Amino acid sequence: MKQKGFDYLKKITAVDYTDRIEVLYFLYDTASAKSDIVKVVLNPTDPAVPSVLRLYKSADWYERELAEMFGVKITGRRTKRLLLEKWNGVDAPLRKSFVWGSDYKKSGAD
At 76, phi and psi to the nearest 5? 85, 10
Closest CA relative to residue 109, chosen from 83, 81, 80, 77: 83
Q: Which CATH class name applies to 8-95?
A: alpha beta
- List the chain domain ranges: 8-95
Radius of gyration over alpha carbons of the chain, in Å? 15
> Number of H helices and number of E strands within the chain?
2, 5
CA separation for the pair 85, 74 (Å, rounded)? 19
Q: How confident is the model at residue 102 (pLDDT cuts 50, 70, 90)?
A: low
Q: What is the pLDDT of residues 35-64, one digit of tens each?
A: 999 999 999 999 999 999 999 999 999 999
Q: Which residues pair with 14 in a beta bridge?
A: 23
